[in-house]
Amino acid sequence: MASEMDEARLLAEIEQHLAREDPGLAARISALDEQFPDDTAPPPAEDGNARPWSMPFAWVLAVIAVMGLLLTAILNAPPATEEQQRPPTGQAVTQLSLPYGAGV
């Protein structure tokens, strides 16, 4: 809370210095402030700390992290050895060995 008050005080001092240095700029900024009042700020959340989008963003981030961990675990798994592989189902493929020099 004190830091917000310090920020507000510093901003007010900066505004005063700028108004003294360039009165034309100060007049233009005042005119803009009158044309566009600062009522477009989003309302604070119920607890005053979190933004309304922070929880959905946190859930999306968590889901992406879990999916990334799963994908990393799957892709980094060691390849299966021949003993771990099941024999293929269906017809067996046979290899025909011909003597050297025998023509087909």
pLDDT score of 17: 87
Number of structural domains, the chain? Answer: 1
More confident residue, 6 or 65: 65
Residue 104 half-sphere exposure toward CB, CA atoms < 13 A: 3
With 0.85 as the threshold, say if the pTM is over it. Answer: no
CA end-to-end distance (rounded Å), the chain: 91
What's the pLDDT tens digit per position in 27-63? 888 888 888 877 666 665 555 565 677 888 999 999 9
Domain contains 98: no
Residue 29 included in any domain: yes
Range of 15's domain? Answer: 9-39
- Is 68 within a domain? no
Question: What is the predicted pLDDT for the residue at 5?
Answer: 81
